[in-house]
Structure 1
Amino acid sequence: MTAHPLDRPVWSMLTGRQAHLATGDARALCLDRGYGVFGVAADTGAAAQAALAALIPPGEDLWIVEGDPWPLPPGTREVKRAALTQMVAEGPPPEPRPGEPAIVALGNADAAEMAALAAHAQPGPWGPKTHLYGPFYGVREQGRLLAMAGQRMLMPGMAEVSGVATWADCRGRGLARTLIGHVMRQMVARGEQPFLHSYADNAGAIGLYESLGFRIRREVHVLAIVRA
């Protein structure tokens, strides 16, 4: 039985539509560090695990995201291990609601503001090129970027909603809902099914995603490692 691409999301990402962002070989790959910290081994065999460990930049971490808990590669040390809830959108995306704020496209000119917002809200790993994954959108008020959302991993016929972030003093206004709905509609218009990941203990976020039409597909696991 063929595994679903989302069972090994980083492997599917870096051997498929986003292979141009990968470095390494058939044993192990890692994402261009400008885009993020993800890495993946072909399997749990000794050769692949050693190749993955060799891709870790000195003094930096590397994140492994797998459907099953991943063993610690030899010569590495665990710095974080957590469960993620993987969700896939079912049915049509939500329609815009009356009174929603205007949504603007974000790009290179907004990169510094996006990085500052990501550092504040911690939506997940963020690098100097993360905003280049694909379309990102935001809400501005009097020139200030209040919230943003965009995409990250791409699979065959699927795209990941990611980078959802709102300044703390702007929460409670439905900005994340507005932006996620917009990103979903853009993906569906391109013929892609939206999916996303949330920390499994973030009940508030998971409830929001369910209200937007996402359903839990499975639990996946993240392991962050450094060289020992």
Structure 2
Amino acid sequence: MSESALDNPIWASLTSRHRALALGEGGAARYPAQVAPFLGVARADAGADEALRALVPDGDTALVLGVAPEVGAAWELRHLTDLAQMICRAPVAAVAGDAPLVELGPAQREDVLALTALVYPHYFRPRTMELGRYFGLYEHGRLAAMAGERMGLDGYTELSAICTHPDHLGRGHARRLLAFLVSDNHARGRIPFLHVSHENPRAVELYLRNGFELRRDIPFWSLRRAG
């Protein structure tokens, strides 16, 4: 899959690596709400109103990235912001640390949900860990930091949920996890990319200092039924 697929990453992921999780058919698809709030369409002019009715029930809000559907008056499509889509085209040097990196699984699920509820509350759902691998490190019995893989398509992996507990900031945990996942994905033949708000300059600077470059600004919308 060519790099241009990153211009429509949700759709590309739902029609490739995450096809088994995809809900919908035709020109629109989404993740189950317990997995992720993301919805994708094949094209902006897909005429997806009918498909959307089955995918976005009353009271639910789906998030759309890159390519948004043309919708009628029954829908409220709101542009939230333009995110920085960043990409890392080469491995980066490993970062040393004392605490071992742990692959997070069912046994650590409650720790993961507690950390993301505190510092990454909008996008992490009870089943988000089904999307890819997640790694973390513990200090004094607490999950101090974590990072993982979310959307994926042929040759590319989105890194996500790169976060640190407020009590453990400034110790290089996020940089260490980021460097590990970047190099590990390159070793697997996958180029890492991610999305970050321009209103989070600390995170943007972290990624720039660790091999990422801005690929493009990518529009981000919310979609819900009107009224």
Taking structure 2 as the reference length, what is the TM-score of the superposition?
0.91
CA displacement, residues 38-92 of structure 1 (integer Å, 9 cap, x when unaligned)? 112222336324422441132121001015x765554122466111000110222
Corresponding residue number in structure 2 for 1:122: 120
Alignment-mate amino acid for residue 136 of structure 1: Y
Aligned residue in 2 for 1:8: 8
Q: Which stretch of structure 1 is more off in the superposition, 43-52 or 192-201?
A: 43-52
- Take 1:170 and 1:124, find their aligned partners in 2: how far apart are those partners? 21
Equivalent pair of 2:85/2:214 in contact (CA under 8 Å) = yes
Residue number in structure 1 paired with 2:172: 174
| Alignment gaps of 5+ in structure 1 | none
Q: Provide structure 2 residue ranges, at least 5 long, that are not aligned to the other structure.
A: none
Question: Identity rate of aligned residues, in percent?
Answer: 34
Q: Where do 1:1-228 residues align within 5 Å?
A: 4-45=4-45, 47-66=47-66, 74-78=73-77, 81-97=80-96, 99-122=97-120, 124-228=122-226
Q: Compare 42-51 and 56-65 and name the one that shifted more.
A: 42-51
In structure 1, distance between residues paired with 2:202 and 2:102: 26
Between the aligned partners of 1:82 and 1:70, the Cα distance in structure 2 is 16
Shift >3 Å, 4+ stretches: 69-74
RMSD of aligned alpha carbons: 2.0
Question: Which has the larger displacement, 147-156 or 118-127?
Answer: 118-127
Q: 1:162 to 1:71 in 2, by over 3 A?
A: same
Match for 2:56: what amino acid?
I
Q: What is the aligned length? A: 225
- 2:40 maps to a residue whose letter is V
CA-CA distance at 1:118 after TM superposition: 0.7
